[in-house]
Amino acid sequence: MTVLESSNSTTNKVLGHPLNAWYVAAWDHEVTRKPMARRIADRPLALYRTEDGKAVALADACWHRLAPLSLGKTVGKDGIQCPYHGIVYNSAGRCASMPAQESINPSATVPSFPVVERYRFVWVWLGDPTKADPGLVPDMHQMDSPDWAGDGQTILAPCNYQLVLDNLMDLTHEEFVHASSIGQEELSESDFVVTHDDRTVTVTRWMHNIDAPPFWLKNMRDKFPGFEGKVDRWQIIRFEAPSTIRIDVGVAKAGTGAPEGDRSQSVNGYVMNTISPETAKSCHYFWAFMRNYRLDSQLITTQLRNGVHGVFGEDEAMLTAQQEAIDANPDYEFYSLNIDAGGMWVRRLIERMLQAEGRLTAAL
Amino acid sequence: MAATNNEVWQSAKVVAVSDVAAGIRRIELEPSAPKHAEPGSHVDVTVAINGQQEKRSYSVVESIDGGKTLVVSVFKAPVSRGGSVFMHTLQPGDILRITQPLQNFPLRVGAERYVLLAGGIGITAIMNMAAVLRNVKADYTIVYAGRNRAAMAYLQDLQDLHGARLQVHVDDEGSSLDVNALVGNLEPGVELYMCGPIRLMDAVRRGWTERELELPDLRYETFGNSGWHDPEEFLVRIPRLGVEAKVGQGRSMLEALEDAGVDMMFDCRKGECGLCEVRILDLNGAIDHRDVFYSQRQQHAAEKMCCCVSRAVSSATGSRANANSSGFPAVVTIDVS
């Protein structure tokens, strides 16, 4: 690991991850009384719920001989028992009993990481616990708002998490990667606007008076049966540090005022993405597609989830191949295009977070 | 925490020394490879005692600017094993070998309420915790007990920073700490962190157990360097090996046996793990149990002892003046694994 002297290194091929941040460790339904293992930000975690239903994240290594606690079982009100020698820890990671002795070694603890459950996800904070402010959980309120409906999945992507952020911040790739569903040539022909502040980056793109691609034509007809004609299409990509991206997407009947704010003649969705680094070269990519029309249709929920699953499968294949090519060409650098403006601001905000943690490093 | 306790040794420059109470010196260090010291952490320091290199542990009182300056405070023990005497000779400009901060006493952020209990020099392990709890706006009380104000380090600093959250108990002013009242009034769910003499910690642990409070909510750290009695010179014998060794005031029984060539098993060397356990075959005197490995029942039985910290003393009261009529040192006859 080499400490970089410059902060203008926004084309790192492998970007480190801030630790003073909330990352999604799991969907809420994944964490149960039966412990599970998951590696987040290079830290193996044992996740489980207490009898009261509180989610717990402990380091997945017993204090004694580092056996994985995730292979153990929950005991008592909030404890977990190591499967090897039976040492029991409470949800704070403190040893509650040791085998074959009448006392407890006061040093016997495993790290217990702050956890917040919000927006259908279990979020974990792996950095300085005194900075773990629940107010810093990125906004994903469409996930559990009564005004929105939808569902999603997880992709274990074999690439550095930054490659996924790059992918989502520049959607011109849709024209080439997703030609059969959401891609169209107007994507790379239309202009876009980038703005940023300390924690967010926004990329806005409007395409006026175009044909709706197949995915959007289907959605329009779900809301406006028999719809025909041109549409105005938008993509408003909003990044919130360190790795959450919501994309406000939709199409409206052309010329009905959607760019000016009247979305009554449109279908609107939110592509919810939050990416948790697993290792330097893999990440858990949690996504969902939420919509604000026909909320009661489970059929549409399932169709959209399956549709986006298909689209993201194309991204996964590209990201996998990209990481392989990066690894196979260690002496070649990244160069940037104008379309990378959003992604480059994301990289700069993340590098500032790393710098603030004294961890602006490149794994060389 | 096991995961973060790799010993990384580095050099550190002494940049300031000052006396902060009778016999207590504050030492500011600039490590060559700075790392932030979390509350509850300590550094191991290489000290020179009679020309020999030995290792001592000192709590980090303050970690300034991400650990670029670390502050320790050292009490010069009346019966020092030599470490504190060495530390008191340090002057600005001196170079030491120290570890990056190590953690055996982590503070959990997020408990509903905290009591931080410090006896005497034990305040060094508590200071950083109190500062952090204040920063995160936790509900906490500091209970600080000492013999007299002159011997209590950082009183004014604590008063200034923590105001009414600080409770001070001073023996010489008749306001000694009533441990039973303290523990008796705790609400279940309070986390108590303590560092101090073993008498204080044993009394709290006893009260805690009697009240059937959750054991994991009682947090403490011991460096195994205080007992119920002052250390005395004593003899240890291992008949099976034909060994007899004298354990000096400033040496541990484990060290004395190692010096005598006995192949000893051990790990923590501070009375926690129980690996250095020896079986007591015969005893002329009493055992001063200084470990936290045995239960009270086991300590009373006096069948075994942790030789890394526990000692033999010449009488149950531990004072040579009241020793058995012969006035000879205590003798403990043992067998080892």
* pLDDT mean over B16-29: 96
| Residue A185 predicted with pLDDT over 60 | yes
Q: Find which of B1, B191, B198, B304 to mutate to test the A interface (most A CBs within 10 Å of its CB).
A: B1
| Confidence at residue B240, expressed as pLDDT on a 0 to 100 scale | 96
Domain A136-362 has CATH 3.90.380.10: yes
Q: Cβ B135–A130 below 8 Å, yes or no?
A: yes
**pLDDT tens per residue across span B40-95:** 999 999 999 888 888 889 999 999 998 999 999 999 987 777 889 999 999 999 99
Q: Find which of B293, B297, B298, B310 to mutate to test the A interface (most A CBs within 10 Å of its CB).
A: B293
Two domains, one topology: A31-125 and A136-362: no
| Residue A316 predicted with pLDDT over 80 | yes
Distance of alpha carbon B56 from alpha carbon B82, whole angstroms: 10
Spatial neighbors of B242 by CB under 8 A, at least 6 apart, are none
Give residue A5's pLDDT band: very low, low, confident or very high (50, 70, 90). very low
Which chain B residue has the Cα nearest residue A89?
A: B216
CATH code assigned to B2-103: 2.40.30.10
Q: Cβ B292–A105 below 8 Å, yes or no?
A: yes
- Chain A residues whose beta carbon lies within 8 Å of the beta carbon of residue B219: 94, 106
Higher pLDDT: A363 or B18? It is: B18
**pLDDT tens per residue across span A209-223:** 999 999 999 999 999
**pLDDT tens per residue across span B108-140:** 988 999 999 999 999 999 999 999 999 999 999
Higher pLDDT: B51 or B286? It is: B286
| Confidence at residue A188, expressed as pLDDT on a 0 to 100 scale | 80
**pLDDT tens per residue across span A228-250:** 999 999 999 999 999 999 999 99
**pLDDT tens per residue across span B294-312:** 988 999 998 999 999 999 9
Under a CB-based contact definition with an 8 Å cutoff, are residues A121 and A26 in contact?
Answer: yes
Distance of alpha carbon B109 from alpha carbon B131, whole angstroms: 12
Nearest CB neighbour to A102, from listed B4, B216, B297: B297
Q: Touching check for A96 and chain B: CB below 8 Å?
A: yes
Distance of alpha carbon B334 from alpha carbon B310, whole angstroms: 13
Nearest CB neighbour to A96, from listed B132, B216, B219: B216
Nearest CB neighbour to B109, from listed A95, A129, A358: A129
Class of domain A31-125: mainly beta
| Residue A192 predicted with pLDDT over 80 | yes
Domain ranges for chain A:
31-125, 136-362
Distance of alpha carbon B310 from alpha carbon A142, whole angstroms: 62
Give residue A132's pLDDT band: very low, low, confident or very high (50, 70, 90). very high
Nearest CB neighbour to A103, from listed B4, B105, B293: B293
Q: Touching check for A172 and chain B: CB below 8 Å?
A: no
Distance from CA of B5 to the nearest CA of A (A): 11
Distance of alpha carbon B41 from alpha carbon B59, whole angstroms: 6
**pLDDT tens per residue across span A271-307:** 999 999 999 999 999 999 999 999 999 999 999 999 9
Distances (CA, A) of B200 to B127, B228, B239: 18, 10, 36
Classify the C-alpha dihedral B91-B197-B317-B151 as positive or negative. positive
Q: Cβ A358–B66 below 8 Å, yes or no?
A: yes
Domain ranges for chain B:
2-103, 114-220, 234-335
| Residue A7 predicted with pLDDT over 80 | no
Under a CB-based contact definition with an 8 Å cutoff, are residues B2 and A110 in contact?
Answer: yes
| Confidence at residue A184, expressed as pLDDT on a 0 to 100 scale | 83
Q: Touching check for A44 and chain B: CB below 8 Å?
A: no
* pLDDT mean over B272-298: 94
Give residue A10's pLDDT band: very low, low, confident or very high (50, 70, 90). low
Closest CA to A37 of A29, A45, A27: A45
| Confidence at residue B320, expressed as pLDDT on a 0 to 100 scale | 54
Q: Select from 3.40.50.9100, 3.10.20.30, 3.40.190.10, 3.40.1010.20 the CATH code of B234-335.
A: 3.10.20.30
Distance of alpha carbon B62 from alpha carbon B37, whole angstroms: 8
Distance from CA of B85 to the nearest CA of A (A): 28
Q: Select from 3.40.50.80, 3.90.1150.10, 3.40.190.10, 3.30.420.40 the CATH code of B114-220.
A: 3.40.50.80
| Confidence at residue A190, expressed as pLDDT on a 0 to 100 scale | 84
Helix, strand counts (H, E) of chain B = 7, 20
**Side chain identity, residue A101:** Q
Spatial neighbors of A176 by CB under 8 A, at least 6 apart, are A183
DSSP E strand stretches across A90-157: 95-97, 112-113, 115-118, 121-125, 149-157
Under a CB-based contact definition with an 8 Å cutoff, are residues B240 and B259 in contact?
Answer: no
Distance of alpha carbon B194 from alpha carbon B168, whole angstroms: 15
What percent of chain B has pLDDT above 90?
79
| Residue B268 predicted with pLDDT over 70 | yes
| Residue A176 predicted with pLDDT over 90 | no
Distance from CA of B79 to the nearest CA of A (A): 26
Q: Cβ B297–A104 below 8 Å, yes or no?
A: no
Instruction: Output the DSSP codes for A31-79.
Output: --SS-EEEEETTEEEEEEE-TT--EEEEESS-TTT---GGGSEEETTTE
| Residue B142 predicted with pLDDT over 50 | yes
Give residue B35's pLDDT band: very low, low, confident or very high (50, 70, 90). very high
Q: Of the given ranges (A220-229, B89-98, B225-234), which has the lowest mean pLDDT?
A: B225-234
Distance from CA of B67 to the nearest CA of A (A): 12
| Residue A139 predicted with pLDDT over 50 | yes
Rounded to two decimals, the ipTM of the complex is: 0.86
| Residue B1 predicted with pLDDT over 60 | no
Higher pLDDT: A69 or B49? It is: A69
| Residue B3 predicted with pLDDT over 50 | no
Distance of alpha carbon A60 from alpha carbon A38, whole angstroms: 9
Distance of alpha carbon A360 from alpha carbon A358, whole angstroms: 6
* pLDDT mean over B213-227: 86
pTM of the predicted structure, to 2 decimals: 0.90
Q: Find which of B65, B109, B294 to mutate to test the A interface (most A CBs within 10 Å of its CB).
A: B109
Q: Cβ B294–A104 below 8 Å, yes or no?
A: no
Coil, helix or strand at residue A87: coil
| Confidence at residue B4, expressed as pLDDT on a 0 to 100 scale | 62
Higher pLDDT: A4 or A42? It is: A42
Nearest CB neighbour to A96, from listed B215, B222, B297: B215
| Residue A6 predicted with pLDDT over 50 | no
- Please give the mean pLDDT across all residues of chain B: 92
Q: Cβ B110–A93 below 8 Å, yes or no?
A: no
